[in-house]
A and B are shown apart, each in its own frame.
Chain A
Amino acid sequence: QTVVTQEPSFSVSPGGTVTLTCGLNSGSVSTTNHPSWYQQTPGQAPRILIHSISFRSSGVPDRFSGSIVGNKAALTITGAQADDESDYYCVLYVGSGSWVFGGGTKLTVL
């Protein structure tokens, strides 16, 4: 069974930089996994942040960036702000028409 791994929680200071990661228990994340990133605040639908590995969706502040670093996809927030406190999810294509979301990272800004 394919599992997509994310840090359950992370904390960052206001103005600080944090990198959240998205990995695969079966191996390395690559471009063929189509990694994308989503932000979700309580009671709201998810909102796309990063698509096509590293492209910011329309309206997303440029403090958010995406990449593949080593064997994982990564979401970096540079200059974190209080309203970045949210849950962050990645999703990966794992083949045979199937997609798997990571368990999500709860980001605290304090």
Chain B
Amino acid sequence: EVQLVESGGVLVHPGGSLRLSCAASGFTFSNYWMSWVRQAPGKGLEWVANIKGDGSEKYYVDSVKGRFTISRDNAKTSLDLQMNSLRAEDSAVYYCARWDLYSGYYSLHNWGQGTLVTVSS
């Protein structure tokens, strides 16, 4: 069974840093693109970042470029999100999710339960 378990969400001050982690199990982690998706309180879903299975490609939403870094450790089957220069608008539940490829199309088939990040003074 595929499991994705996020951790690391806390209350942090504006300008601070935080590192989120996602522990993956139940599948060959290195074979999959992975993603962070966030959801601000009462708002919709927002794609944040993607990383290829071997870590060689990374993509970010414009609002986090230069502040957030997605990374992975395939030996430990973990996905991380280093978040620097945090702003109030980064407050959200952050989900770890796995991209699956079916018939040539990508979609997010497995999601973690999310971890809450609150940026406030």
A binding-site residues for B, Cβ under 8 Å = 1, 31, 34, 36, 38, 40, 45-48, 51-53, 55, 57, 87, 89, 91, 93, 96-104
Tell me if B59 and A102 are in contact (CB < 8 A): no
The verdict on B46 contacting chain A, using a C-beta distance below 8 Å, is yes
Tell me if A104 and B44 are in contact (CB < 8 A): yes
B binding-site residues for A, Cβ under 8 Å = 35, 37, 44-47, 50, 57, 59, 61-62, 95, 100, 102-109, 111-114
Q: Which residue of B lies closest to A52 (CB)?
A: B105
Tell me if A103 and B44 are in contact (CB < 8 A): yes
Q: List 10 A-B contacts (CB under 8 A).
A: A1-B62, A36-B105, A40-B45, A45-B111, A47-B111, A52-B104, A91-B108, A93-B106, A97-B57, A104-B44
Tell me if B111 and A55 are in contact (CB < 8 A): no
- How far in angstroms is the closest Cβ of chain B from A7? 13
A102 to B47, CA, bound (A): 10
Tell me if A55 and B108 are in contact (CB < 8 A): no
Contacts of B61 in A (CB 8 A): 98
Given contacts A40-B45, A52-B107, A97-B59, 13 further A-B contacts (CB under 8 A): A31-B105, A36-B107, A46-B111, A48-B107, A48-B109, A52-B103, A87-B44, A91-B47, A91-B108, A96-B59, A98-B47, A99-B35, A104-B44
Known: A45-B95, A97-B59. A89 touches B44 (CB 8 A): yes
A98 to B47, CA, bound (A): 8
- How far in angstroms is the closest Cβ of chain A from B29? 19
A97 to B61, CA, bound (A): 9
Tell me if A101 and B47 are in contact (CB < 8 A): yes
A98 to B57, CA, bound (A): 12
Tell me if B44 and A48 are in contact (CB < 8 A): no
Tell me if A46 and B45 are in contact (CB < 8 A): yes
Contacts of A34 in B (CB 8 A): 105-107
A46 to B94, CA, bound (A): 12
